[in-house]
Amino acid sequence: MKHGVFVWNEYMTRDVEATKAFYEGVVGWVFEGMPMPDGTYWVAKVGDEMVAGVMAMPSDDPRLEHVPDHWLPYLEVDDVIARCKQAEAAGASIIKAPFEVPGIGTIAILAQPGGGVVGWMTSVAQQD
């Protein structure tokens, strides 16, 4: 993966089934479930290509109470831990500290100055 390039999009929703039905019917995506500790993560596919993810917004996070369903883009960075430290020094807030997703990489969620939320990730392929 290349540093500084958006590599993934994820739709955060309160109604996963309605979201899947919408994209299946309108775009033709097919969904494949990936069991996760907090529920199922749904990978949207076009043929064999993974194109996006859909997941339920956590219902127990009061910060999300008034946040509508939304797309969350992910930016590939060369070292997510070091880049998060740089981002904080530059005025960003870390919403979810770096964490590992087996087989995928290290991910963090941050709010950049001005409030825009973005995911940053260092893919497994880049960590090798």
The CATH number given to whatever domain includes residue 125 is: 3.10.180.10
Residue 3 lies in a domain: no
Q: Are residues 50 and 82 in the same domain?
A: no
In this structure, the answer to whether residues 82 and 115 fall within a common structural domain is yes
- Per-residue pLDDT of the chain in tens (128 residues, 90 and over written 9): 799 999 999 999 999 999 999 999 999 999 999 998 888 999 999 999 999 999 999 878 887 788 899 999 999 999 999 999 999 999 999 999 999 988 889 999 999 999 999 999 999 976 55
CB 76 within 8 A of CB 7: yes
* DSSP letters for 42-110: EEEEETTEEEEEEEEPPTT-GGGTTPPSEEEEEEE-S-HHHHHHHHHHTT-EEEEEEEEETTTEEEEEE
Q: Do 44 and 82 belong to one domain? A: no
Q: Is residue 72 domain-resident? A: no
Task: Please indicate, yes or no, whether residues 51 and 84 belong to a single structural domain of this protein.
Answer: no
Into how many domains does the chain fold?
A: 2
